[in-house]
Amino acid sequence: MKDENFLKENNARQLWHPMGAPGDAQANPPKIIKGAEGSSITDIDGHSAVDAVGGLWCVNLGYSNDRVKQAIADQLFDLPYYSAFAGTSNPPAIEAAYAVQEFFAPDGMERVFFTSGGSDSVETCLRLARQYHRLRGEATRTKFLSLKKGYHGTHFGGASVNGNNRFRINYEPLLPGCFHLPSPYPYRNPFNETDPAKLAQLIAQAMEDEIQFQGANTIAAFIMEPIQGAGGVIVPDATFMPLMREICDRHGILLISDEVITGFGRTGDWSGARHWGVQPDMMSTAKGITSGYFPVGAALMSGKVAEVFEGAGADGGIYHGYTYSAHPVGAAAVIACLEETLRLDTKTNAAVRGKQLYDGVCKLAERYDIIGDVRGGHGLMTGIEIVSDRAAKTPMDGETMKRIHQTAYEAGAMVRLGMHNILMSPPLTITEGEIDTILTALDKGFASA
């Protein structure tokens, strides 16, 4: 490893950072994280902080799970790679698919298609949704519906159903035939409706209208996150996802639950769909499937979808997949990670610690006027919307957001900024004391605004 001076000098020189401006990175160099233990990270200057981001909503088991590390190391020596394209398979891939299917059995998920991450999983679901309808003789069903403020990764398909302008605008034209409904976001919505249940009804009506306008026989799928993550931790009313399920069923539209964040315990249940009592037709997953220890995603198919592909014989050929689909080392990470997720029952800790974090932030909101909205209360996903004027709901400026972030970091907690929101998704193994540290650090951050 090169020395610290080399790393600092070259940080953001050759390396372009995702989701950042290369022209800004020299002036505002990204923090160099060089180590991690439990729920905490340590930067190159030796400063440690509780990682309230969980890497990137993904390090569900924390950084010190030796069983997962050992499983990855062992597999590297047994078989570091072999393709799973038709014609070959490998033992960990077979076992990992079995484990994932078992894990998500209550969600009705019966088949597993491995990918290299969340964007790949979304892309897989979108593409196979079109193929599903084509195999059923409904080739006109090619369009997609999704929600504003939704985040579905950065491939062209995912960006096309993405509901945030900043992830779309520079990359247009995107996929034609993608239409966006309002987000179930009571704090800001075009109906000015603050009651979450009434808002759910209004969006359901907007969905019905859009389906009538487009023609149901042109729509392949509706994709949504059970709780919108990157868009600001937007928690819908409990009736919302069941309503969407019912509308999709009535119009022959597939429901894709994008569980890249919400899968594997984050919401306090094993999936976001299960949290809301819904069975999707497809599920995109990643992140928690390996707790960030290896880049893996999975697109999951319900029995209804599987039947159509499998009943079509050779015509049901899936001409889609990735070199690293069902990578043996990744698959070994999946097996170990799921075993650990179940053994440690991380969903239960997520529910308890999630409540502590949410309640703590609500208390801070009583003291700080800059807190416009606090969202969460369903597992370890918490969003705080920061405003410069509470009555006018004016989004806080970027400089102040950066100051809050840096002060909180220096006080011992790494949080994530999403525009004028603070987003938190710590490891699901986090302790009571570590949540207290996050809350104290946030307090100092808000005091610096």
Among 111, 148, 152, 180, binds ligand PMP (CB under 6 A): 152
Tell the smallest beta-carbon distance from residue 291 to ligand PMP (Å). 13
Instruction: Identify any residues that bridge with 51 across adjacent strands, giving them in sequence order.
Output: 414
Please provide residue 352's backbone torsions phi and psi, each rounded to the nearest 5 degrees: -70, -50
Spatial separation of the C-alpha atoms in residues 77 and 343, rounded to whole Å: 26
Q: Does 258 bind ligand PMP (CB under 6 A)?
A: yes
Q: Does 235 bind ligand PMP (CB under 6 A)?
A: no
Please provide residue 430's backbone torsions phi and psi, each rounded to the nearest 5 degrees: -60, 150
**Tokens linked to 424:** 């938190």
Is 151 or 270 the residue whose CB approaches ligand PMP more closely? 151
Q: Does 234 bind ligand PMP (CB under 6 A)?
A: no
Which residues, in sequence order, are CB contacts of 106 under 8 Å at separation 6+?
A: 270, 274
Residue, CB closest to ligand PMP: 118
Q: Does 265 bind ligand PMP (CB under 6 A)?
A: no
Sole window of 26-34, 112-120, 403-411, 414-422 interacting with ligand PMP (rule: CB under 6 A): 112-120
Among 151, 185, 293, 446, binds ligand PMP (CB under 6 A): 151
Is 155 or 412 the residue whose CB approaches ligand PMP more closely? 155
Among 55, 118, 226, 426, binds ligand PMP (CB under 6 A): 118
Residue 371's SS3 state is strand
Which residues, in sequence order, are CB contacts of 211 under 8 Å at separation 6+?
A: 145, 219, 247, 251, 253
- Say how far residue 243 (Cα) sits from the centre of its chain: 22
Tell the smallest beta-carbon distance from residue 260 to ligand PMP (Å). 3
Among 230, 300, 338, 438, binds ligand PMP (CB under 6 A): 230
Total H helices, total E strands in the chain: 15, 16
Tell the smallest beta-carbon distance from residue 107 to ligand PMP (Å). 16
Is 225 or 385 the residue whose CB approaches ligand PMP more closely? 225
Q: Does 244 bind ligand PMP (CB under 6 A)?
A: no
Is 211 or 278 the residue whose CB approaches ligand PMP more closely? 278
Q: Does 123 bind ligand PMP (CB under 6 A)?
A: no
Quick check: 40 and 51 in contact, CB under 8 A? yes
Residue 22's SS3 state is helix
Q: Which residue has the tokens 């308890």?
A: 352
Is 163 or 372 the residue whose CB approaches ligand PMP more closely? 163
**Tokens linked to 382:** 């918490």
Q: Does 126 bind ligand PMP (CB under 6 A)?
A: no
Sole window of 96-104, 149-157, 339-347, 348-356 interacting with ligand PMP (rule: CB under 6 A): 149-157
Helix 328-343 / helix 66-78 crossing angle, nearest 10 deg: 160
Sole window of 87-95, 116-124, 180-188, 380-388 interacting with ligand PMP (rule: CB under 6 A): 116-124
Residue 281's SS3 state is coil
Tell the smallest beta-carbon distance from residue 116 to ligand PMP (Å). 8
Is 230 or 371 the residue whose CB approaches ligand PMP more closely? 230
Residues within window 285-314 making contact with ligand PMP, judged by CB under 6 A: 286
Among 92, 117, 372, 426, binds ligand PMP (CB under 6 A): 117
Size of the site for ligand PMP (CB under 6 A): 15
Q: Does 376 bind ligand PMP (CB under 6 A)?
A: no
Quick check: 295 and 330 in contact, CB under 8 A? yes
Among 40, 65, 83, 119, binds ligand PMP (CB under 6 A): 119
Residue 71's SS3 state is helix
Q: Does 247 bind ligand PMP (CB under 6 A)?
A: no
Binding mask 381-400 for ligand PMP (x = CB under 6 A): --------------------
Spatial separation of the C-alpha atoms in residues 243 and 221, rounded to whole Å: 15
Q: Does 229 bind ligand PMP (CB under 6 A)?
A: yes
Spatial separation of the C-alpha atoms in residues 255 and 196, rounded to whole Å: 21
Spatial separation of the C-alpha atoms in residues 101 and 53, rounded to whole Å: 28
Q: What share of the chain is helix, strand, coil (3-state, %, to 5)?
A: 45, 15, 40
Residue 63's SS3 state is coil
Enclosing H/E stretch for 423: strand 421-424
Quick check: 61 and 429 in contact, CB under 8 A? yes
Residues forming contacts to ligand PMP in the complex (CB under 6 A) are 57, 117-119, 122, 151-153, 225, 229-230, 258, 260-261, 286
